[in-house]
Amino acid sequence: MVSFLFDTPTGMSDNGFRLLGVIVWMAIWWISEVVPIAVTALLPIVLFPSCEIMSIQETGANYGHKYIFYLLVGL
């Protein structure tokens, strides 16, 4: 990831800077559709624990939130 190559901007935590890198990566993949959108949506499950942004339990819990299930039922 490119965020590991640059210094963290003043006023931003290292964790926030890594998160910004993941967000930019996902946005580029969503816009360009390099891989299917569903694959891009699963990137945080791998990247958040790898980049020490969130634990796998916290990340997985967000994917199992009740609002996600409401959204899936509505589709």
Mean pLDDT value of segment 8-21: 85
Q: Is the pLDDT of residue 16 over 70?
A: yes
Mean pLDDT value of segment 55-69: 85
Question: Would you say how long the chain is, in residues?
Answer: 75
74: which 2 tokens? 């509505």
Q: Say which residue, 18 or 5, is predicted with more confidence.
A: 18
Instruction: Please give the C-alpha separations between residue 58 and each of 3, 65, 66, in angstroms, as whole numbers.
Output: 22, 11, 14
Task: Name the band, by pLDDT with cuts 50, 70 and 90, for residue 18.
Answer: confident
For 41-55, write each residue's pLDDT tens digit. 899 999 999 989 999
